[in-house]
Amino acid sequence: MVAPWQDTTLPAHTRAADLLARMTTEEKTAQLSSAWIGADTGGADVAPGQHAYAARSAALDALLPHGLGHLTRPFGTVPVEPAEGAARLAELQRTIRAGNRFGVPAIAHEECLTGFTAWQATICPTPLAWGATFDPALITEMAQAIGTSMRAVGIHQGLAPVLDVVRDPRWGRTEECVGEDPYLVGTIGTAYVRGLEAAGIVATLKHFAGYSASRAARNHAPASLGPRELADVILPPFEMAVRDGGARSVMPAYNDLDGLPAHAHAELLTQLLRDQWGFTGTVVSDYYGVSLLEEAHRVADGEGHAARLALAAGVDVELPAARCFTPADPLPEDLLDRAALRVLTQKCELGLLDPDWKPVTDGAPVDLDPPHLRDLARKVAEESVVLLANDSGMLPLSDGPHIALLGPLADEQAAMLGCYTFPRHVGVHHPELPTGVDVPTLAEALRTELPGAVFVDDPTAADVCLVVVGDRSGLFGRGSSGEGCDAEDLQLPYGQAAVLDEAMECGVPVVVVVLSGRPYALGRWADRAAAVVQAFFPGQEGGGAVAGVLSGRVDPSGRLPVGVPRGPGGQPAPYLAPPLGRHGFPSTVDPTPLYPFGHGLSYTTFSWDQPQCDAPEFATDGETALRLTVRNTGDRPGTEVVQFYLHDPVGTVARPEVRLVGYARVTLDAGASAEVHAAFPADLAAYTGADGRRVVEPGALELHLAASSAHVHHTVPLTLTGPVLEVGHERRMWCETRVK
């Protein structure tokens, strides 16, 4: 007769509770612990203080008799051949099961921000590129394929997506973010969550919350933001991904909020996340985040105190290794039971408590770079390339010109890869190792794309100069973009401004190609460049995607998820700024971006008919519907991105001039048309008022139908009627759109 915790016909929570009641204090504590095999091996840190902390963390042998909650990065710590890695993980799980009296395995987690962060795994575009696609359906498909490859080798949880909203692009982790708008971040991020969860992988939302709003864009710095900015800008993407995406894990941020570290923030991790939003999954610490309560924030006077603060706030698992959550300093029994029950319930949902569970391995070859996933990486890369300027009509290039290909990144793989790709995250510490997947540089891709072109070294002998500039990603100062690689200003790094200046003086048309992890100031060359193309670390298929846009094989359809600044000395005002955040008297500083949020051009042209609104006047608890016909008036296929922005003329607090509340990609053959339908609920007009309540107010609104936040085609006046309506977690957060 099986015990209730082994009975697969019972609910997961019931089974987990039965097992919990049978456990000792040491066994319960072990379920909150993790082990990072190989964290103390050679190479630079891939987590803050990794090697120092690893030396002071509990060894696996000491943990095994009581069990283990998590296994940290069995594939992503050091290079391992996929089939060998799967076999090693399976053997490790058998050891863990044999070591504890209940035979419970560990949850194995990995990074998957740009695909599975493992050697020989497909490298997808970075999240900033996801945002540039404005294509949630494609991101869901990509995420599901990533999750399927992870699940096939025994991984259960992915530490993605990042839902931080960009507030200052000098922040090094800008490349990991989807964009500067909470609606775009929320819809694209939720799409990624849905795909990962559909593959059976636990999605982990990070970093909760305020990490991207750090002072002066410094990593780990305090976050300076008021309660309304937190409620209306920072939190909505997380709420959408929990409620509508089904995310089963959340990771707190490293920063503090008004002096209270997120890892010790009960109002954030329990009262908001669980009590208000109804989250039932696990909260896992960011790497060494519990230790940092003592050693960085200094709100704890020892490891045990840090553990109690984190556990009381709502942290359930200490990652990446057991240092604070240990039996050496006993944890309050009620809090210990609360966290252990959550972990065991999740293990039950994953099948890890089933009597017939066994590790994934059959000795067959493992392909972590399958054709289907490469194809999805290519599609995302192609849809993410943004044509910023082409006034001269220089693009697309013909196949026969003499081309001078300049710039330090023209023939470098690093220009395609974000800091959470395996080659830039771990591979840089193993120079003897091949990349593991094919990553053509832009130079290589262009020679394939334009076989009739002649590439020359002398710009004055060319018909056109392509100048490729941007970033090399890295960690903790080992790159110009990435975690711990913050910038003092938005000047192009590595002296690349001089390369552009020199090219502009050669008398030949110059096409600027930016391959980067953040937007850079381009105003110095905007009037002299023949064309400007932007791609945000587009992954292993990125070289072909950018080359395809330059040749015209791919019609550019990406739109900016962040504004591009004019000058390097200060960031452009986020387009969500209220009136005082925009250019005007009495300041001499103009923060207007050179290219605004949502901007992007095509090689064809479009016209937008006058929209039709079913009910321009509707109640504060109602909705209206709009229809808009878009026509391709050019001579080639192309994609337009219809964007819906809300303008509130008068509010009880200062409001953004406009904010995104919906969008739709419309792909049309030459001469074709399609009708965009959008359902606009009044809840989308909600904001946090002076008293801290989120309300929908009666009064006049405007809905802007636009090609970017600054390029409005049509304005639809709306009027909300009825009483002021307070709305909460059940409010409608999506503008449902369809194209037919």
Q: Where does 259-331 show beta strands of DSSP type E?
A: 260-261, 282-283
Q: Let me know: does 725 contact 620? Beta carbons within 8 Å.
A: yes
Helices (H), 528-604: 542-551
Q: Let me know: does 82 contact 368? Beta carbons within 8 Å.
A: yes
Q: Which of 306, 311, 307 has its CA nearest to residue 294? A: 306
How large is the C-alpha radius of gyration of the chain? 26
- In the chain, % helix, strand, coil (3-state, to 5) comes to 30, 20, 50
Q: Let me know: does 646 contact 181? Beta carbons within 8 Å.
A: no
Rounded Cα distance, 667 and 703, in Å? 23
Q: Let me know: does 444 contact 389? Beta carbons within 8 Å.
A: no
For residue 24, CA distances in Å to 66, 77, 100, 317, 571 come to 9, 32, 12, 17, 54
What tokens were used for 218?
Answer: 């410094």
Burial environment of residue 33 by CB neighbours within 10 A (0 to 12, 13 to 18, 19 or more): buried
Residues forming a β-bridge with 678: 626, 737
Residues annotated catalytic, as ranges: 220, 286
Under the phi-then-psi rule, with left for phi > 0, alpha for psi from -120 to 50, and beta for the rest, what region is 49? left
Rounded Cα distance, 465 and 44, in Å? 38
Rounded Cα distance, 176 and 124, in Å? 12
Rounded Cα distance, 186 and 733, in Å? 9
CB within 8 Å of 714: residues ≥ 6 apart: 608, 610, 611, 628, 704, 705
CB within 8 Å of 20: residues ≥ 6 apart: 28, 337, 340, 341, 344
Q: What is the DSSP letter of 405?
A: E
β-pair type (70-72, 34-35): parallel
Q: Where does 373-431 show beta strands of DSSP type E?
A: 386-389, 402-406
Scanning the structure block, which residue is given the tokens 């085609």?
A: 713
Rounded Cα distance, 306 and 246, in Å? 30
Helices (H), 404-541: 422-425, 442-449, 496-504
Helices (H), 680-728: none
Rounded Cα distance, 551 and 543, in Å? 12
Residues forming a β-bridge with 469: 514
Quickly list DSSP for 606-675.
Answer: EEEPPPEES-SEEETT-EEEEEEEEEE-SSS-EEEEEEEEEE-S--SS---S-EEEEEEEEEE-TT-EEE
β-pair type (402-406, 464-470): parallel
Our separate counts of H helices and E strands in the chain read 19, 28
Q: Let me know: does 140 contact 192? Beta carbons within 8 Å.
A: yes
**Can you state the angle between helices 371-384 and 542-551, rounded to 10 degrees?**
50
Q: How distant is the alpha carbon of residue 737 from its chain centre?
A: 23
